[in-house]
Structure 1
Amino acid sequence: MELFPSNPDSLADPVTLLDEQGIAWVLQRRRVDLRIVRRLIKDEATPVVWADMGGIRPRPTAMAERPALWDRIKNDYRGPGGSGSTGRCLAHEFRAELGRRLLYVAEDC
């Protein structure tokens, strides 16, 4: 998975993420509401990417990792529905052809 020079939230549009299978994902929504984050984390058809180091070092997450990821995000989310400016996590929704969705969760250092 390609690296970003900074968190996708601060990049100019269009923001595209190329994954290991060569699929180009285009950023559709920044700072997704926490309720949508929860729904997408539970959706097996939606790939979830965890990006630490300020959101620039992404890696795909396995379904088995998602409950722990949700536990980490739900009380530390600074986007809509979260803890506000004190949170360390933000999530963004990317889309690919045929309406496929990808959840990109970035954690600040």
Structure 2
Amino acid sequence: MQSFPANPDSLDGPVTLVDDQGTSWVLHRKRVDLRVVRRLVKDPGTPVVWGDMAGIVPRPTTDAERPGLWIRIKGAYRGPGGDGSAGRYLAHEFRAESGRLLLYVEDDC
């Protein structure tokens, strides 16, 4: 999976992420509401990508990680419905041409 020059939240224009299987995902919504984050994290059909190093280094999450993701994110979410400026996570929704969704979580450690 390619890295970004900056976190997706700060990039202008069309932002595309190509995964290891060659699927192109286009940024659809930035800073999604915490309720949407919860729904997508808990949906096993939705891939979740973790953006390490302030969101610029994406890596797919594993099935083993998923149960703990919501717990980790919900108490420190910086986007709508979250803790505002005190949080360290932001999430964005990407879409593939097929209509599938991908959740991208920036970790601004």
Which TM class, normalised by the smaller chain length? Answer: over 0.9
- The count of aligned residue pairs is 109
Matched position secondary structure for 1:41:
helix
Deviation, 1:63, is 2.2
Q: Who is 1:93 aligned against? A: 93
Percent of aligned pairs sharing the same letter: 72
Structure 1: tracts of 5 or more residues without a match = none
Q: Who is 2:39 aligned against? A: 39
Instruction: Please list every run of at least 4 consecutive aligned residues from structure 1 whose deviation after the TM superposition is greater than 3 angstroms.
Output: none
CA deviations 1:1-27 (Å, max 9, x no partner) are 110011100001100001101111000
Counterpart code for 1:35: R
Counterpart code for 1:73: I
CA deviations 1:42-89 (Å, max 9, x no partner) are 111110001111001111012221121111100000000000011000
Q: Who is 2:22 aligned against? A: 22
Matched position secondary structure for 1:53:
helix
CA distance in 1, matches of 2:43, 2:4: 25
Q: Who is 2:58 aligned against? A: 58
Q: TM-score, normalised by structure 2?
A: 0.97
Q: TM-score, normalised by structure 1?
A: 0.97
CA deviations 1:17-40 (Å, max 9, x no partner) are 011011110000000000000000
